[in-house]
Amino acid sequence: MKRLLLLSPILMLLLAACTTAPIVEQVAPQGRIIPVTAELWKFTPNVIQAKQGEEAVLQITGVSGTHGFSVPDLGINATIIQGQTVSVTLPTDRPGTFDFRCSVPCGAGHKDMTGQIIVAP
């Protein structure tokens, strides 16, 4: 009986250590997720459309090579590595057509890695 009493506090400590902490739920960003791929030597899609004021996130996945996703007029410049996905919030506060391009020299077709983001009023 004494042995059981001595083990009791140890068991309680072990059980307390095994309980899980409360799960904190991460709130996903509201709005539309726009998947984009970057590969030798193109972005897909190369025309991205959004509405002014819309909450939108670009999820850019590197399919092959290392690339950049640069939209100077929107202040976006992200590096995309093969096998990884980068999330970029798309500013939609003003309408217009904004050119994007690969900002990391990636070979012979680098100059062809371009596209447009169209934010409609």
Band the pLDDT of 2: cuts 50, 70, 90: very low
User: What is the second-level CATH architecture of the domain 31-120?
Assistant: Sandwich (2.60)
Average pLDDT, the chain: 83
Residue 78: pLDDT over 60: yes
Taking only the tens place, the pLDDT of each residue in 18-70 is: 444 343 333 345 689 999 999 999 999 999 999 999 999 999 999 999 999 99
**pLDDT at 85 (0 to 100):** 97
**pLDDT at 31 (0 to 100):** 83
Alpha-carbon span 97 to 19, nearest angstrom: 53
Alpha-carbon span 97 to 108, nearest angstrom: 27
What residues contact residue 72 under an 8 Å CB cut-off, 6+ apart?
none
* Domain residue spans of the chain: 31-120
Closest CA to 49 of 87, 89, 93, 97: 97
Residue 74: pLDDT over 90: yes
Residue 99: pLDDT over 70: yes
